[in-house]
């Protein structure tokens, strides 16, 4: 089923979902299953699987360093298929502009269609580690809105180099990202919302937000989005703080604000075990308020661990 169909069938009930990161090369998928298993009791209708873009590594060749491109976490579509088969749950692969040509994107989408994957998350992706700003991949898309357009056209039978007139056309439900505290590269929230509106106009069916720790930011974001004419579901993305260094890391990487009350509680913690508990308690209160407000889904960024997400879900679902 499509994400929008799951939301419609819930008839106002808030659903539970989460996002996972593929294991690194050389790791077993069983490790991934061990983190998914404890969360299945809360009946997630869908699970997101992230995609990592390429990165450079340097290999010593006879005393000279040779630069090679690699992907540390490959196999997003295969993992989606495996999870879908094992748990009978819809899976959502993340599709990126960065690191992929339009042809590679088309191949990926065709594979998804063959496997019965009906939902995709269309994202621009981050800049590579050596880049100050995002740079378009040669032969790829510069903006997520262009990626959305390609996905939507595929559903109309419009492939890059030919057209299919009839048959079993791919009809993906397309998710895109929204930023309650604006994208780190956007000059203002209003400017960023115009970009979001363009993605929706291109064919996006729902929005999942970047993490936030102040619900006011989400509520204000939704209000402004609605005023701009964005009518698709806007799903809040939530991450519990887990380690003390998140106080510096999350604002630095994602350009988000942390509430003073949360900062004070984390700073009082003696170790990361205490921090993890503070993160769980804060997230439960945050999620409870969002659920009472009638959000369609509570979507959690698990970062590959499930113990804190399970504690939060148990208190809410």
Yes or no: say if 193 and 164 are a contact pair by the CB < 8 Å rule. Answer: no
Tokens of residue 298, six digits = 């509570």
End-to-end C-alpha distance for the chain, whole angstroms: 21
Q: What are phi and psi of 174, to 5 degrees?
A: -110, 125
Buried b (16+ CB within 10 A) or exposed e, 149-185: bbbbebbeeebeeeeeeeeeebebbbbbbbbbbbbee
Pairing, β 55-61 against β 64-70: antiparallel
Per DSSP, the three-state class of 66 is strand
| Separation of alpha carbons 234 and 179, rounded Å | 11
Within a 10 A sphere around the Cβ of 233, how many other Cβ atoms? Answer: 17
Report whether 89 contacts 83 (CB < 8 A): yes
Are 48 and 19 within 8 A, CB to CB?
yes
Catalytic residues: 19
β-sheet bridge partners, residue 48: 19, 92
Q: Are strands 206-209 and 173-178 parallel, antiparallel or unpaired?
A: parallel
In the three-class reduction of DSSP (H, G, I as helix; E, B as strand; rest coil), residue 206 is classed as: strand
What are the tokens at 250? Answer: 């999350």
């Amino acid at each position: 089923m499509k994400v929008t169909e799951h939301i419609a069938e819930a008839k106002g009930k808030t659903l539970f979902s989460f996002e996972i990161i593929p294991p690194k090369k050389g790791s077993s998928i069983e490790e991934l299953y061990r983190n998914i298993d404890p969360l299945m009791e809360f009946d997630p209708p869908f699970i997101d699987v992230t995609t990592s873009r390429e990165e450079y590594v340097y290999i010593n060749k006879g005393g000279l360093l040779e630069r090679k491109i690699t992907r540390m976490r490959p196999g997003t579509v295969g993992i989606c298929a495996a999870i879908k088969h094992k748990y009978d749950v819809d899976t959502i692969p993340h599709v990126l502009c960065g690191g992929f040509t339009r042809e590679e994107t088309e191949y990926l989408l065709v594979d998804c269609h063959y496997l019965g994957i009906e939902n995709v998350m269309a994202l621009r992706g981050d800049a590579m580690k050596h880049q100050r700003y995002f740079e378009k991949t040669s032969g790829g898309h510069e903006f997520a809105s262009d990626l959305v357009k390609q996905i939507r056209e595929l559903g109309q039978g419009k492939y890059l180099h030919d057209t299919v007139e009839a048959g079993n056309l791919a009809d993906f439900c397309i998710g895109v990202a929204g930023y309650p505290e604006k994208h780190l590269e956007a000059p203002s929230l209003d400017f960023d919302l115009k970009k979001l509106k363009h993605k929706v106009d291109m064919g996006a069916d729902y929005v999942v937000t970047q993490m936030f720790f102040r619900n006011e930011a989400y509520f204000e974001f939704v209000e402004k989005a609605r005023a701009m004419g964005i009518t698709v579901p806007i799903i809040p993305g939530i991450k519990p703080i887990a380690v003390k260094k998140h106080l510096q890391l999350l604002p630095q990487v994602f350009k988000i604000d942390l509430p003073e009350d949360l900062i004070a509680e984390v700073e009082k913690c003696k170790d990361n075990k205490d921090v993890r508990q503070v993160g769980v308690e804060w997230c439960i209160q945050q999620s409870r308020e969002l659920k009472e407000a009638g959000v369609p889904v509570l979507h959690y960024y698990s970062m590959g661990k499930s113990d804190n997400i399970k504690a939060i879900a148990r208190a809410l679902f």
